[in-house]
Structure 1
């Protein structure tokens, strides 16, 4: 049974935050629009700008894969026929790929819209209202850094599915990045409700330098700085294992590589060694080697990706910067901030680690690192960042309300259902087909015990709390997350009861929001307390429920 109850736009403003208004030209919120006809006369008066010409040295490398068909074919034909004309055709194709983006890409930042014009045969103009800008990301590969260039990307909150375009400037001079970022963010007005405690912006235009661009702001106080000691948390994720599995998948998909690998001397000697060893010992050695290799890969990736991580807060934006070789800098508008999530994956939790993400309007979970405000680090450090970002240290220390024995029973039942069925099947096989070896029963017993532990751990991680202006909820075991969501960012509620939940007197309450994951769940709470929770977070909303 599912009963959605959405907030009404006629609710009092101090009780319920209405949906953000449409853009200056009536476009729906969070949706970039294409076409120059959407601009205003003030936008048209701004001249178009061109990318930095040094990008001609970067594009042939970064776009090399796209250019391969146009380059390899004429070069191959020229080598086979001895005709130098084909080689010239390949060189011309290479020059075309290197120069076409620079020649045909233009951008401008107008008072209302920011526009990007690309393409030669198929011309495309992407126009985005500046009020829809959610974040500004700046990244630079090694080549970009050597040439003092950067790639600037505007986040609008629109997905990257089919038919969508991204606003990305590759590449601009690194010396212009700060000023351009200030110019883009200066156009963002607080047309959404601001979270409680975040400083209000006066709205005046920033000071400008002689070239007309805004003067870069001071990054503000430092909330977090990466420590090399944090690298030891990396092996307790699944990054290394996933990279190894991906590499093996590529090898197996390539038949030629797979055959050469099987015929190699290393594989032959390894197979002979395994045959000489006890199977259990060989398996243990393989597991240890896999763990060591995965740990080294994870630590290397973590060090390269997050080395130099810093988090600054200038009162208007959160600025995240990290990267050893390829750098990345994200700027998150505080007026879009709707809370913080602290994540505790199971292995990371056992060693006292955690990570933190900002819950931002327009930035979904698929945005990945764009919302990351602290990588894998000590749990206490994550809580400190949690409180500093929300300007309230007490929110991270709020005690959660447990959901009672019925919720515990549900988690134990769900954790044990499959193992119990598997054990019953083993009993039938042992009685009717053949006697099973003793190690099978030891393994089955271990699985049952681990399932019980998992169910209890899932219950221990379950809970919620209501603080004036905030909803705090926590759930999960393999990946436990503690979410703190601002009440003004919640646009609706859903109360769900399955058949088994109704029998147990439980319900799941979902707070809908255009930020983060889109919905935050209070799972298996007593059904009689669901309305009190909604009333505590958004006073007056319980009147809209039909009992």
Structure 2
């Protein structure tokens, strides 16, 4: 085992940069906007801020000095702590996902970050290198991968000295990196669709509004803008041009935002892992072993259903986040054409063949859903009747809002009935439900760790039941399917009992 080494020195700059970024608002208030304010609150506030800022920098440097790591051919060895030392050992066999993230800061210095996700719960669930050279990140990743490959193809050497001597004399060939197959790269048309479907063009309006209110709080902009606005609003042509400019700027902003986020998106795979890359300015990559995929989830919002798009997510036993940022990297691609999504899942995971021909719920399930009282509507109607708000000077607005809410609720229940489908075959189960947003859940029988079949009195009268499945993930992923026929519930119970033929129990020796 090699000696412990510290993380890359640029980690100190990285953490100081994050500290400045998190403190920028306070810095502007104390040292820019209120720089001439000699009040005790601001004077002592500046001293307190400088003291806390200096202590934070000292803490960052000490943490870097006291945090070390090393590894052998089987595990990571981590050591950290300033006053209280903590030693941690994480076996490579526990690592499930490998994430890479290269931000703009990393690219400027030719660095990257790498994160190894395990199935262990708690704060010690990951081994994170926030700043590392690309060579070091590749070395760490290759050692983990080589260990996993050695476990998969471990030779049987307990059959005598003759076989072992042949193994010793055999030439050692270095394994070449396996060629990846690229399955999907978005075109310009795909990116344009994504910008429209994600409504990212609407982000500009709240962004400008937030910027205005933050600036107006310290500068007297309202009086100046009131005089300018009064002169501009007097001309209809100026209003039309201003609206056109805002719309054009919003769509341009949405397209640029989508291109930066999904411009270099790539989905590829080899025989063992699925690889996802994304990002133009800030790059992120993720890989997951195909055997670690617990389920596939396909989601369609109302707008995506109209355009024939869908989002496919891989549900894994490990976390799929990269650091503190929510990169949504568990999604294969949020705006895949529906048929392309089915084909892509079949290419990446041959064991998950999604079938569109599924069984619907019986009509009595619709009557049960219509007759079921809506407590949300009753409470909302009571609140509307009590407060009786008025909108656009319309009297008795409360009962109009109550009727509209009731229509929305029954429309959602009708859509949920039309979308709800199910399918059981020898290995897979497919469950689909949802109103305005539908979700298709597909998993293997061996991946389900818990099932529950329930039936209330009303369902018993209609001959219906509810199913619940729990799949291993972090956190546990739970799926529901309500108001299915009793015959399906019985078949599901028998189907799940055959799981014992597929799973392998640990500790059998």
Q: Residues 440 and 323 (structure 1 numbering): CA distance in 2 closer, same or farther, change over 3 Å?
A: same
- 2:362 matched to 1:404? yes
* C-alpha deviation, 1:398, in angstroms: 3.6
Where 2:416 maps in the other structure, the secondary structure is helix
Q: RMSD over aligned Cα, in angstroms?
A: 5.0
Moved more, 94-103 or 220-229: 94-103
Once the two structures are superposed, the pairs formed by residues 43-192 of structure 1 within 5 Å of their partners are: 45-65=1-21, 96=58, 99-158=61-120, 166-188=126-148
Which residue in the other structure is 1:226 paired with? Answer: 186
* C-alpha deviation, 1:145, in angstroms: 1.0
Q: Residues 236 and 525 (structure 1 numbering): CA distance in 2 closer, same or farther, change over 3 Å?
A: same
The Cα offsets for residues 234-290 of structure 1, whole Å up to 9 and x where unpaired, read as 3323666578668867977x6x8447577253366558978999xxxx9x9999999
Once the two structures are superposed, the pairs formed by residues 368-383 of structure 1 within 5 Å of their partners are: 369-383=328-342
Q: Identify which of 410, 423, 428 aligns with 1:465.
A: 423
1:105 and 1:118 in contact (8 A); partners too:
yes
- 2:297 matched to 1:341? yes
Q: Residues 235 and 471 (structure 1 numbering): CA distance in 2 closer, same or farther, change over 3 Å?
A: same
- 2:492 matched to 1:530? no
1:46 and 1:109 in contact (8 A); partners too:
yes
Where 2:493 maps in the other structure, the secondary structure is helix
Q: Residues 342 and 274 (structure 1 numbering): CA distance in 2 closer, same or farther, change over 3 Å?
A: farther
CA–CA separation in structure 1 for the residues paired with 2:372 and 2:205: 31
1:157 and 1:364 in contact (8 A); partners too:
no
CA–CA separation in structure 2 for the residues paired with 1:270 and 1:167: 55
1:190 and 1:335 in contact (8 A); partners too:
no
The Cα offsets for residues 113-138 of structure 1, whole Å up to 9 and x where unpaired, read as 32332333343334323222121111
Q: Identify which of 256, 259, 269 aligns with 1:313.
A: 269
Q: TM-score, normalised by structure 2?
A: 0.73
Which residue in the other structure is 2:197 paired with? Answer: 236
* C-alpha deviation, 1:177, in angstroms: 2.5
Q: Identify which of 153, 161, 164 aligns with 1:202.
A: 153
Gaps of 5+ in 2: 156-173, 501-509
Q: TM-score, normalised by structure 1?
A: 0.68
2:381 and 2:398 in contact (8 A); partners too:
no
Q: Identify which of 332, 337, 341 aligns with 2:288.
A: 332
CA–CA separation in structure 2 for the residues paired with 1:489 and 1:244: 44
Q: Residues 460 and 268 (structure 1 numbering): CA distance in 2 closer, same or farther, change over 3 Å?
A: farther
CA–CA separation in structure 2 for the residues paired with 1:186 and 1:295: 47
The Cα offsets for residues 1-31 of structure 1, whole Å up to 9 and x where unpaired, read as xxxxxxxxxxxxxxxxxxxxxxxxxxxxxxx
Which residue in the other structure is 2:498 paired with? Answer: 539
1:230 and 1:378 in contact (8 A); partners too:
no
CA–CA separation in structure 2 for the residues paired with 1:109 and 1:467: 45
Moved more, 333-342 or 445-454: 445-454
Q: Residues 512 and 189 (structure 1 numbering): CA distance in 2 closer, same or farther, change over 3 Å?
A: farther
Gaps of 5+ in 1: 1-44, 192-200, 205-213, 542-547
